[in-house]
């Protein structure tokens, strides 16, 4: 198995389910722990494409992509606590407890996000064992899904053309 490569192996499983409100949804599984649920009617005319991870291009022009972050994929040390990954990326946690190399890595990521998206302050949405971190600009949003029960993965989600409330609704599976 190749390590230290920015090539991720991902699995995408689609499952149609019926919620309590009798609404059909399609679940996109990025791992055994993380998935996004989208109303099936919203997928009419959509295209599913591969980039760094599976992506959906909706008929409306909106785009949604996600990437499963692991220590190996992002060249992080085994001791790095992935639960804090979104906090470092979004500038919610100070970098001074990290090595100089990791500080530089996260500073570059923070600058790239701010320069390309001009996101306002990040928001944290907690519920049960999961935390969602979101930050939305005018046309783009970035989000992270973290589970307190999973310390080996974080799901990073990018949305283009969504309002903040639409993006958060998708992440929460509403």
Domain boundaries, the chain: 13-172
- What's the topology of domain 13-172? Protein Transport Mog1p; Chain A (3.40.1000)
Ordered per-residue pLDDT tens for the chain, 174 residues: 333 333 333 334 444 444 444 578 888 888 999 999 898 998 999 999 887 777 999 999 999 999 999 999 999 999 999 999 999 999 899 999 999 999 999 999 888 877 766 766 789 999 889 999 999 888 889 999 999 999 999 999 999 999 999 999 999 887
Please tell me what DSSP assigns to residue 125: E
pTM for this model (two decimals): 0.83
């Amino acid at each position: 198995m190749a390590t230290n490569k920015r090539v991720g192996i991902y699995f995408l499983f689609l499952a149609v389910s019926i919620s309590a409100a009798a609404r059909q949804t399609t679940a996109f599984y990025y791992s055994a722990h993380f998935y996004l649920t989208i109303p099936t009617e919203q997928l009419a005319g959509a295209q599913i494409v591969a980039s760094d991870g599976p992506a959906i291009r909706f008929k409306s022009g909106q785009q949604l992509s996600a990437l499963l972050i692991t220590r190996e994929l992002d060249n992080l040390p085994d001791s790095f606590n992935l639960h804090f990954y979104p906090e470092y990326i979004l500038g919610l946690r100070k970098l001074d407890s990290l090595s100089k190399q990791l500080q530089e890595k996260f500073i570059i990521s923070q600058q790239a996000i701010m320069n390309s998206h001009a996101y306002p302050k990040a928001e944290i949405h907690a519920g049960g064992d999961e935390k969602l971190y979101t930050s939305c600009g005018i046309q783009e949003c970035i989000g992270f899904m973290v589970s307190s029960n999973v310390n080996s993965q974080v799901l990073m989600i990018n949305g283009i053309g969504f309002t903040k409330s639409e993006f958060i609704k998708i992440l929460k599976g509403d």
